[in-house]
Amino acid sequence: MANEVGKTADAGREPLGTDSPEQQEETVEHVVEDVRSEIRLGHVEDDVTHVLEERLDEAGVHLRPEKVDDLAEDIENDVST
């Protein structure tokens, strides 16, 4: 009874939770690396937490605000060294 709806292009709809925890973690890692790279290239000057949260939402991943803050802090610490 697997649901194969997948991700939708309709930005107004929530994903139906079809991603496994492993897929979701890979998506988070990919988004974090993209944001980190864009900061290093000077393409991101906004608040990292805000940018990260937007990108995760676009990817259909919804994390607790504390988790997003922690990830953003890790990114900021990494790019500042």
Q: Coil, helix or strand for 59?
A: coil
Query: In whole angstroms, what separates CA 49 from the centre of its chain?
Result: 10
> pTM higher than 0.85, yes or no?
no
Q: What is the pLDDT of residue 44?
A: 86
Answer for the pair 61, 28: CB distance below 8 angstroms, yes or no.
yes
pLDDT score, position 7? 39
Dihedral sign, CA of 44, 47, 49, 54?
negative
For residue 58, the model assigns a pLDDT of 95
Using a pLDDT cut of 90, give the percent of the chain over it.
Answer: 65
CA separation, residue 54 to residues 1, 3, 39, 81 (Å): 32, 26, 15, 25
pLDDT at 46: 86
- Tell me the per-residue pLDDT of 16-72, one tens digit each, with 9 for 90 and over: 455 788 999 999 999 999 999 999 999 988 899 999 999 999 999 999 999 999 999
